[in-house]
Structure 1
Amino acid sequence: MSQMTPREIVQELDKHIIGQADAKRAVAIALRNRWRRSQVSDDLKGEITPKNILMIGPTGVGKTEIARRLAKLANAPFVKIEATKFTEVGYVGRDVESIIRDLVEISVKLTREVEMNKVHFRAQEAAEERILDILLRPARSGFGSDGEPEPISEQAANTRQKFRKKLREGDLDDKEIEVELSVTPMGVEIMAPPGMEEMTSQLQGMFQNIGSTRTKTRKLPIKEAFKLLTDEEAGKLLNEEDIKMRAVQNVEENGIVFLDEMDKICKRGESSGPDVSREGVQRDLLPLVEGCTVTTKYGMLKTDHILFIASGAFHLSKPSDLIPELQGRLPIRVELKALSVDDFVRILTEPDASLTEQYTALLATEGVELGFSEDGIARIAEVAWQVNERTDNIGARRLHTVMERLLDEISFTAADQSGQTVSVDAAYVDSHIGELAQDEDLSRYIL
């Protein structure tokens, strides 16, 4: 669990997301409240529920990115889902409980990685011994008449140490050896209709458990064999039941669900009759958000303390169009602002691994030095903002489109221009995409 203060969380988010201070504060407080809850007495802990968040704002302003970066900071199980993919229980389509099942699968993977890292050193030592046993006489040659292991001769021990040194220094990386690796039984691919994912995964698990684990001899370079043997030895050191139990607990205490496109499941107008993909989905989401028990293949899981972050543009609908019960379960409302030209300039230069850095690094692999001047970056930002204003506003995603079009020619010919320097200034931008930006019909299709 992250022990970062809200101020530290916001500072980390600032490295990747420009602006949207209110949204960053809201998610930082929500994450810090996780830690605060873990510090209170057990009697009170069960009563403190997470304050779920509803982020409202146009597309491309950072809603999804904020949630994604937050999950990385928290090192918590995180799943992003589109609310439009789900239908009411009883109809063809995914039911909302599959959200929690997906979250548990992610948590199991995370927990296994953490446990693998803990035993990594021991697994490496065991893998090293197995490789040395293949290269040399085994460390123990057998048992004596009294049943005790025979001691290794001093010469054999010295030889083994020399080979161990060579192995660790990488001198034997390219040497090929034959290793016996355990082979996981082949899974059976089962095609099932939407909504039957849980039954399908259980059937696949059942077929995988039929038959014992076999071994297969493979001829591999030592470097590759060492990695595979380390993974195999680490797997032997893990307690699978313990991993599953911790994974479920991790979801219950730290899970984050990001519900995107919430505005698309609002009921519009005064239409009568059931609405399978809108109000019905909201009613199915309600038990998850307010707390219920979901059955997964790893056991029963309570959703009482999972944090839900919902988001939507709400162009054609408004948050009050959600059913009242669901509105009450999303108490924190945050409005994200549309991006300005200045925001676009900052997006191009300030974040870690900004767009300009990415393109510069990509072309550097071809030997082309790409440079962006201040007036060039300002002109790119201006063009992106103008196109957003005249056509559909897709926020910062427009910068990707503009940059791809701007650097299309140099990207195509970079291999032939190795050693050259390309400077992207305002004149370069105008000569390559100036006409497209001015022509509304062309920019609608190309930019």
Structure 2
Amino acid sequence: MDNEKDFREIDENGVELSDVKETEIHEEHPVDEYEDVCFICHRPESKAGKMIHLTPEIHICAECMQRTMDMMNNGNVDYNKMDFSRMPNISMINLSDLQNMIPKRQKVKKKNPEKEAEAQKMFDIHAIPAPHKIKASLDEYVVGQEKAKKVISVAVYNHYKRVAAGSDADGIEIEKSNMLMIGPTGSGKTYLVKTLARLLDVPLAIADATSLTEAGYIGDDIESVLSKLLAAADNDVEKAERGIVFIDEIDKIAKKKNTNQRDVSGESVQQGLLKLLEGADVEVPVGANSKNAMVPLETMNTKNILFICGGAFPDLEEIIKERLNKQSSIGFRADLKDKYDNDKNLIRQVTVEDLRNFGMIPEFLGRLPVIYTLDALSEEMMVKILKEPKNAILKQYQKLLALDEVKLEFTDDALTAIARKAMEKDTGARALRAIIEDFMLDIMYEIPKDDNIGRVTITADYINHKGGPLITMRGVPALEGE
């Protein structure tokens, strides 16, 4: 009788017991946020239609089920018209073994037009950070490169405004300004974009052009650039279509010279990137680097995606120097051929013609209207990089030793000596960490042995291997203060 009373109460409220269970399950596992994907053809529900649920994790579209059954009975039964919900739970294989074969990163979020409209209304154009605020945030982490920080701040600000403005009734459509960032190795190209990614609340993906190849060849497909952006947006297509993509090592896909073989990782990749940079509907593999993999494909429009390309472009200075030296002629006003040999920032005078001679095709450069350069690091900039940024290398080591209750200090002469050694390596700011790792190894090894050490001072003599660091033991007052 108690059971009947429970059932009558549920009936009076108009809710069945099965519905209550489904609601509880839905609250514990909100699977409605993602689309169901066919286990065989890997198409999402929006493209393949309603799915047949074999298990909570394994779904098959009606078309694949029809093909499977056709192979078994030569197509005598139309399974599209059958109601599989009333079929007995019969399985010829252990389906639980297959559930782990579907990674969650390959699931596609469902599109909700109402939520998209609300999100667009909530996007306030007055809440967009101004360029000077973006640059001020970058100044806390990046030393120098004033022009580069100014250009990238304005570009990101305009990108936010394009997203907020959308398409107005006046017919004026704001076009995006893709950028090409040129600078010597170690000048901070990738670090600048990574810092920007931490500061901004926008999907940002960093891809590497060296692994890209033409479709059909071993390597990553060109669409894998957008796959990383989609993953950064949690597989939300609408959010990813308003993101930023940084393609590093773009100089590695320049046209190969004097080769008779097919250039599958050079000019062909540039041609494949044209449609992405310009703006087109692209089929993007979800959670994979190749369309050939059996993964869901999602359509993305790249019209509102901002692309930033960066590269070191080695030997570009020689091309610039050759162009400038053509102005030399015999006479009193002739320029010396070695006039530009010691100019460390010769790359500032780069032109589109120089990039074409380097191996970039005109169509590719035409889709990157904003071209700017980063300066080579000087000795003074190296010293500032060591101590001024929020995430400076010296501050990292000082924090490490502070955990052992030891204070780490550097003299000004020591910082200059480190910067001078880094300049000799000619690998930019990357050389600083290599040098510090070298002379800090013994200190990090010996300090934990003696609890009486209170302060370590790094001197120029220690950097130049002419002496050791200055070690100060803890005093009695310091111990009482603790």
Distance in 2, Cα, partners of 1:90 & 1:41: 36
Structure 1 residue ranges (4+ consecutive) displaced by more than 4 angstroms after TM superposition = none
Structure 2 matches for 1:317-356, cutoff 5 A? 319-320=355-356, 321-356=359-394
**1:269 and 2:303 correspond:** no
Q: Which residue of 2 aligns with 1:430?
A: 464
Gaps of 5+ in 2: 1-122, 285-295, 317-353, 469-482
Residues in 2 aligned to 1:407 and 1:72: alpha-carbon distance in whole angstroms: 29
The reply on whether 1:313 has 2:312 as its aligned counterpart is: yes
Q: What's the CA shift string for 1:26-66, capped at 9, x where partnerless?
A: 11011110232245462368832210111111111110011
Displacement, 1:319? 2.3
**Could you tell me how far apart the structure 1 residues matched to 2:214 and 2:466 are?**
50
How do residues 280-319 of structure 1 correspond to structure 2 at under 5 angstroms? 280-296=268-284, 297=296, 299-316=298-315, 319=355
Distance 2:300 2:413 in 1: 55
Cα distance in 2 for residues equivalent to 1:334 and 1:21: 11
C-alpha spacing 1:365/1:432, structure 2 compared with 1 (3 Å): farther
Hey, what does 1:406 align to over in structure 2? 439
Give the whole-Å Cα distance in 1 for the aligned partners of 2:398 and 2:462: 16
Give the drift of 1:316.
Answer: 3.5
Q: Which amino acid aligns with 2:307?
A: F
In the alignment, the residues of structure 1 paired with residue 195 and residue 373 of structure 2 have an alpha-carbon distance, to the nearest angstrom, of 18
Matched residue, 1:418: 451
Give the letter aligned to residue 412 of structure 2. Answer: E
Distance 1:371 1:348 in 2: 12
Map 1:376-387 onto structure 2 (within 5 A): 376-385=414-423, 387=424
* Whole-angstrom CA distance in 1 between matches of 2:172 and 2:223: 22
Kindly indicate whether the alpha-carbon contact (under 8 Å) linking 1:368 and 1:417 is maintained by their aligned counterparts in 2. Answer: no
The structural deviation recorded for 1:273 is 4.6
Q: Is the 8 A contact 2:209 2:248 kept in 1?
A: yes
Distance 1:46 1:403, change over 3 A: farther
Distance 1:58 1:308, change over 3 A: same
TM-score by length of 2: 0.57
**1:270 CA drift (Å):** 4.1
Contact 1:368/1:419 (8 A) holds in 2: no
Per-residue deviation, 1:378? 1.8
Residue in 2 that maps onto 1:65:
191
Is contact 2:256–2:266 with CA below 8 Å preserved after alignment? Answer: no
Q: TM-score, normalised by structure 1?
A: 0.62
CA distance in 1 between counterparts of 2:229 and 2:166 reads 27
Which of 392, 408, 414 in structure 2 is aligned with 1:370?
408
The CA deviation string for residues 395-430 of structure 1, in whole angstroms up to 9 with x for no partner, is 001000110111111011121133411101222222
Q: Summarize the alignment of residues 235-274 of structure 1 with structure 2, pairs less than 5 Å apart.
A: 247-253=236-242, 255-274=243-262
Change (3 A) 1:33 1:377: same
> 1:93, 1:357 → 2: CA distance?
40
The alpha-carbon distance between structure 1 residues 90 and 406, as it changes in their structure 2 partners (threshold 3 A), is same
**Identity across the alignment (%):** 38
Shift of 1:300: 2.0
Alpha-carbon distance change, 323 to 8 in structure 1, aligned in 2, over 3 angstroms: same
Quick check: 1:52–1:308 contact (8 Å CA) kept in 2?
A: yes
Tell me which of the two structures has the higher relative contact order, counting C-alpha pairs closer than 8 angstroms and 6 or more residues apart.
Answer: 1
Match of 1:14 in 2: 139
Question: Which blocks of at least 5 consecutive residues in structure 1 are unaligned?
Answer: 109-243, 435-447
Residues 110-129 of structure 1 mapped to structure 2, 5 A cutoff:
none
Partner of 1:279: 267
The match for 1:170 is none
Question: Aligned partners of 1:383, 1:304: CA distance in 2, in Å?
Answer: 46
Task: Name the structure with the higher helix share.
Answer: 1
Distance of aligned partners of 1:432 and 1:310 in 2 relative to their CA distance in 1, 3 Å threshold:
farther
State the match for 1:28 in structure 2.
153
Distance (whole Å) between structure 1 residues aligned to residue 398 and residue 442 of structure 2: 15
CA contact (8 A) 2:181 2:309 kept: yes
Higher Cα radius of gyration:
2
Q: Which residue of 1 aligns with 2:91?
A: none
Contact kept? 2:167, 2:173, Cα under 8 Å: no
Shift in Å, 1:269: 2.5
